[in-house]
Amino acid sequence: MSLDINVKVKYIGHSTFLILTDSNKKIIIDPWLEDNPSTQETIESIGSVDYILITHGHFDHVGDTLNLMKKNPEAIVISNFEIGMWIEKKGGKNISPMSHGGTQKFEEFDVSMVNAVHGSGISDPDSEHLVYGGLASGLVINFKNKYVIYHAGDTSIFGDMSLISDIHKPDLCMIPIGDHFTMGVKEAAYATKLIKAKSYIPIHYGTFPVLTGDPAEFKEIVENESDSSVTILNPGDEL
C-alpha cells in the first residue's frame, strides 16, 4: 500500500513511527530507539525531528525522548500533562501538554488526544519508584489535506472506539495486536469494526516473547470480514 497523499509514514519498529509532512517536517511517535530490539535506527540515524508525540509513559514509548530532545532542542513535545511536566523537570523545553478530548493545532496538522485503556508509569532512573505518568492515550493526527492517522497507543478494546470513528473518521490506524499487555488479534480485529478505518498497520507484537499476536492472522480476519486493508510493515518499511 502507498499513501496517495503528501505524507510519508515510516515504521521504525514496535510502536515507533516517523512521519514526514508535505513540507518535510518530521513527526516521531513514541521514539523508542536505542534499546529497541526491533529496529536498527538510532538517535543519530533519525536525525532532526520537529515534533515528538508520546502516547504514554512506559519505557518502550517515552523511550529516547530526553536524548532526542537534546539533539533537537527546538522540537515540540506533545504528551499528556504529567509526562510533559516530568520532561520539563528533566530539562526539556518546548513542551506542549494536553489531555483527553483536547486538540492542538499546528501549521500542517492538528493533534487530538483520545482514550486508551492502559497504564502509564514512567521508569525514571533518578527514582526508585515508578513516576506517575497520567493516563495512557491514543493520538489522532489530522493533516490539513484531511488525511487522518490514528495511533491507538497501547490499549485494550473499548466501546468508545466507535466515538473516535464517528468524530475523527481515521483513514489509517496503527493498532496493537501483541496480546499480554494490549489487545490480542481477536480483540484488535473486533476493534476494527468500531474504528472503521480504511487501512490498518498492526504494531506492538513480536518485540518480546510474550507479545505473541500474529499479524498475518490479524490481516486475514480483518480483510475477510470488512473492506479495510491491513499492511504488515517490517521495521524500516515506508508507505
Domains of the chain with bracketed CATH: 8-230 (3.60.15.10)
Angstrom distance (rounded) from CA 190 to CA 230: 14
Contact 28, 52 (CB under 8 A): yes
Quote the pTM value: 0.97
Q: What is the band of 2 on the pLDDT scale with cuts at 50, 70, 90?
A: low
Angstrom distance (rounded) from CA 141 to CA 111: 5
Query: Is the per-residue pLDDT at 32 higher than 70?
Result: yes
Angstrom distance (rounded) from CA 25 to CA 87: 22
Pull the grid cell for residue 128: 526508585
DSSP character at residue 51? E
Q: What is the band of 3 on the pLDDT scale with cuts at 50, 70, 90?
A: low
Pull the grid cell for residue 226: 470488512
Pull the grid cell for residue 149: 492517522
Angstrom distance (rounded) from CA 193 to CA 191: 5
